[in-house]
Structure 1
């Protein structure tokens, strides 16, 4: 899958799943941990507001109401 297409699908995934973990992205898109982290940084730069929670039960949350 091309990177641009994957990023588009990741943005859709973030909007559908308000909270998710890095492992969720890795399994959903069949990508490595480092690729998932790079992609998260890129979709944040594109304007998707994400909040990261640290710790054992951490993950990511999409901030705000998105239609």
Structure 2
């Protein structure tokens, strides 16, 4: 069963029971990716490792390090 078919089945069942419809597939993908990145930065900070990424690279270029 594909994601679309499962979504349509869930929507049908929700309407039959009077429940709110579930969010469409992919609606919260970007939010989940941001939360994963935040969690990785948090774990890095707890272990004392420097944060990696585009912001750190841009700051190091600006500061000349």
Does TM, scored on the shorter chain, surpass 0.5? no
Structure whose CA Rg is larger: 2
TM-score, with structure 1 as normaliser: 0.28
TM-score, with structure 2 as normaliser: 0.29
> Which structure has greater strand proportion?
1
> Which structure has greater helix proportion?
2
